[in-house]
Amino acid sequence: MEESIKPIDADPVEDDPIESEPLAGRYQLREKLGAGGMGEVYRGHDLRLDREVAIKVPRVAHLEIAPNAIERFEREALATAKLGHPNIVEIRDFVAEGERPFLVMENLQGTSLSEHLKKRSALELAEAVEIHVQLLAALDAAHDAGILHRDIKPQNVFLVPLDSGATLVKLLDFGLASLMEEKDSARLTITGMTVGTPAYMSPERLDGAASIGCDLFSVAVCMLKCLTNSLPVSCAGRTRNELREHADARGIYQPDSVWRLLEKALSKDPEARFRSAKEMSNALRGLISTEANGPTVEVEGRASAPSNSQPATKPMKAGANPRELEAGPKDEPSIARPPSSVPSRPGVSAQSSIQQEKTSRGKLWLVILVVVALGAAALWALR
C-alpha cells in the first residue's frame, strides 16, 4: 500500500505545557509565540544576559520517532549559526541537555509573510520582488555552506520593519525539519509524514529528494502566493498562460515577463529551473527594470508610475484584454514637417541665406556713408 504524504503541521499533537523552571538554568519561558506540527516557539528571557530571546522547543512526540534527531538537530543548528547572514534568523545558543534539545534565537519584532498576506489581497510586484530577493540572498548563503532549507513557505519568512521605512526579511526554521528525518534515511517520510509543506514542494521533493532546485521551486510558489494570494491545486509544470489565467481570474494583472520567470522556476524538470539562488535573484531584479520601461496599466484603481521613455496608457476598461495592452502602444504614423518660412537658395541652407542678407545690408549702409562723407567734403571745398 502506497504511503500517504501529509504536511508536518497537519493534525498537530496537543501543546506541551510551559515549563516553570528555567531551561538549562538560564532561559525562562514566558509565552507561546507560535506552534506547528514539529515544535513550539516561545518568547523567553535570558537570565544571564538579561535580554529577550525566542526559544524553539521540539515536541517530545517527534523526538521519540527520530532516534538520531538530537545529533542531526545540533549539527544543522551549529551550521546555521555560522552563516551570520542578515537575512537569516540569528541562533544564539543550542542546548541539548537531557532528552529535549532547544534553540535560542534572536527575538524578532514584526510579522510573518503569512500574516502579512492575510491583510492584503495581493502584493504589488515591487514589494514581492524585494521580499524574495532578500529571501534568495539568505538561501544563497545557506546553499554555499551546504545547507538546504527544505521548507520555504510564507510562515517561515519574517518581515521586520526598520526605522528607515524599509523591511528586513528573515528566513526562519533552518534545520528543525530534520527532526523528522532518520540518519541515512533514503526517504524523508516517517509514519506517513513528510518534511515540508506539500503545496510548496517540487515533484521530486515529494518523492524524498532534496536539492537547491527544490528550495528554489518553493520560492517560486511563495512568489506566486504573494502575487495572487492563492495557489493552484498543483504548481508544478504550470505554463505561463495557465499562471496568467490563474491571476486574471482574480482580477490581477502582471507583465508577461513575470509569468515567464515563474514558468521556468516551476518546471517539473529540475534541470530546466534556475541553477542557483543568485541566478533567480538576478532574474527577479530584471522584472522591476522591465516593468519600469514598459507601459503603465491601471487595474482596480492601482496604477504604476509611467516611464520617462513611454507614454502612460489609459486605464484598462472592464472586459479589456490585458494581453493587448502588453503589446504596448502602436507605432504612430510619421508626420510631414512644414517647410521653413525662410526661403533658401539652391545649395544654400536657410541659415546661410540669412547671414548673406545681413552682409549685403551692411555693405549698402557702408556705401551710403561714404557717399555722404564725400558730398560733405565737396561742399566744404567750395566754401
Give the tens place of pLDDT for each residue, 211-241. 899 999 999 999 999 999 999 888 999 999 9
CATH architecture, domain 27-292: Orthogonal Bundle (1.10)
Q: What percent of the chain has pLDDT over 70?
A: 65
- 172: Cα within 13 Å, side-chain hemisphere: 26
Q: Can 331 be counted among the known catalytic residues?
A: no
**Domain coordinates of the chain in residue numbers?**
27-292
Residue 266: C-alpha distances to residues 204, 219, 220, 310 (Å): 12, 9, 7, 32
Alpha-carbon distance 316 to 325, whole Å? Answer: 8
Query: pLDDT tens digits for 38-84?
Result: 678 999 999 999 999 999 887 765 555 565 666 766 777 777 788 88
Asked if pLDDT for residue 321 goes beyond 50, the answer is: no
348 grid coordinates? 544654400
Asked if pLDDT for residue 293 goes beyond 90, the answer is: no
On average, the pLDDT of the chain sits at 76
| The overall pTM is greater than 0.85 | no
Q: Which of 46, 140, 151, 215 is catalytic?
A: 151
Return the higher-pLDDT residue of 324 and 20.
20
Asked if pLDDT for residue 313 goes beyond 60, the answer is: no
Could you tell me whether strands 91-95 and 302-303 are parallel, antiparallel, or unpaired per DSSP bridges? Answer: unpaired
Return the higher-pLDDT residue of 368 and 379.
368
Please state which of the ranges 24-28, 47-51, 192-196, 200-204 shows the lowest mean pLDDT.
192-196
Query: pLDDT tens digits for 327-373?
Result: 444 444 434 444 444 344 444 444 555 566 666 677 777 778 877 77
Pair 87, 138: CB distance under 8 Å = yes
**pLDDT value, residue 352:** 53
